[in-house]
Amino acid sequence: MGKFVLIKPTLKVNNVDLSDHASQVTVETNADDVDVTGFTETYHEHAVGLRDATMTVDWFQDFQPASVNATLWPFVGGANAGGTVEIVVRQADVTSGTASYTMTSRIFNYQPLQGGVGAAATINTVFNNAGTAGLVYGTA
Amino acid sequence: MSVAVRRSLYGKLAGDSTLTAMLGTPAPGYNQSIYYQQAPAEAGFPFVIFQKMAGTPIYTFKAGHAAIDNEVWMIKGVDRADTPDTVDAVSSRLDALLTDGALSIAGATQMYLRRESDVDYPETADGQKYLHSGAQFRLMYE
């Protein structure tokens, strides 16, 4: 995969393809910065602490069955069951060099309706890591 | 989608007998005094002109087409008169028909249609006064 313009990644939530309702995505992983500097050292020594990961998605909200709200609601309603989020990025018309990111996640803040008169009803959700594997990077 | 939208708008306007009763004699070859982009020279007054002013597609990650088309259409009455009463009445009828009005757009589903900003100005050509009155309407469909 060379340089590319993000045009048509596939975005699945609990194996439901919602790519036709997503317009922006950010995949992020980070780690706590733990200072382990000793008394005799002249530079800070940083160690990697606990890791975390999120996927943030902008959606065009849709209340039809099997669409955005129906798919996201189990992540936040009731027992907050969570689920799997997967994004697969590939350059148009290229079958190799595909990258995928998968994560078991939960949503802790869900606003099912945002917007004003005359604007498309869009929402933003942050999928937080909820599994021991964290953000899993794959290739194909 | 412009063809389908244009036809749906024309159908909406031409299908309203209250509006068409306000308009002048159609130019030869036309059924109604409702014209796209430009009226023919033989058009009787008043008439209605409509044209697309802007179109902004909104895309999702799904390839193939825009998820939402967001367009602005200028739709106005034009009269050759000294008083704006007639053309203002046409403008009011256009608003009543189109704001939250339902269009039948082939191959698409209408999401939003409302008057967004008014268009109202005089024009003088060859010593004759022409009055324009209508609005820009925002249309969204998927």
pLDDT bracket for residue A93 (50, 70, 90): very low
Question: So what's the pLDDT on residue B97?
Answer: 98
Cα B90 from Cα B96, distance rounded (Å): 10
Query: What is the per-residue pLDDT across B54-82, written as a single tens digit (0 to 9) for each?
Result: 999 999 988 666 789 999 999 999 999 99
% of chain A at pLDDT higher than 70? 89
Summarize pLDDT for A23-79 with one digit per residue, the tens: 999 999 999 999 999 999 999 999 999 999 999 999 999 999 999 999 998 888 666
Percent of chain A's residues with pLDDT above 90: 67
Output the pTM of the full model. Answer: 0.84
Q: Decide: A76 and A68 in contact? Cβ < 8 Å.
A: no
**Residue contact A20–B112, C-beta within 8 A:** no
Query: Does residue A79 sit at the B interface (CB-CB below 8 Å)?
Result: no
Say if CB A102 and CB A86 are below 8 A apart.
Answer: yes
B110 at interface of A, judged by CB pairs closer than 8 A: no
Q: Is B96 exposed, middle or buried, given 0-12, 13-18 or 19+ CB atoms closer than 10 A? A: middle
Q: How far is A19 from chain B (nearest CA, A)?
A: 5
The reply to whether residue B114 touches residue A118, judged by beta carbons under 8 angstroms, is yes
Q: What is the mean pLDDT of residues A79-101?
A: 73
- Residues of B with CB below 8 A from A11's CB? 61
ipTM higher than the 0.90 cut = no
End-to-end Cα separation, chain B, in angstroms:
10
Q: Find chain A residues with C-beta within 8 A of B60's C-beta.
A: 19-23, 60
Q: Which of A11, A118, A120 is opposite residue B61, by nearest beta carbon?
A: A11
Task: Give me the sheet containing B128-141, strands edge to edge.
Answer: B34-36, B47-58, B68-79, B128-141, B110-125
Which of A12-16, A68-72, A74-78, A84-88 is the least confident region?
A74-78
Residue B55 three-state SS = strand
Instruction: Provide, as residue numbers in chain A, all residues whose Cβ is less than 8 Å from the Cβ of B111.
Output: 120
Give pLDDT tens digits for B25-51. Answer: 999 999 999 999 999 999 999 999 999
Contacts of B112 in chain A (CB under 8 A): 118
In this complex, is the C-beta atom of B72 within 8 Å of any C-beta atom belonging to chain A? no
Please state, rounded to an integer, the average pLDDT across all residues of chain B.
95
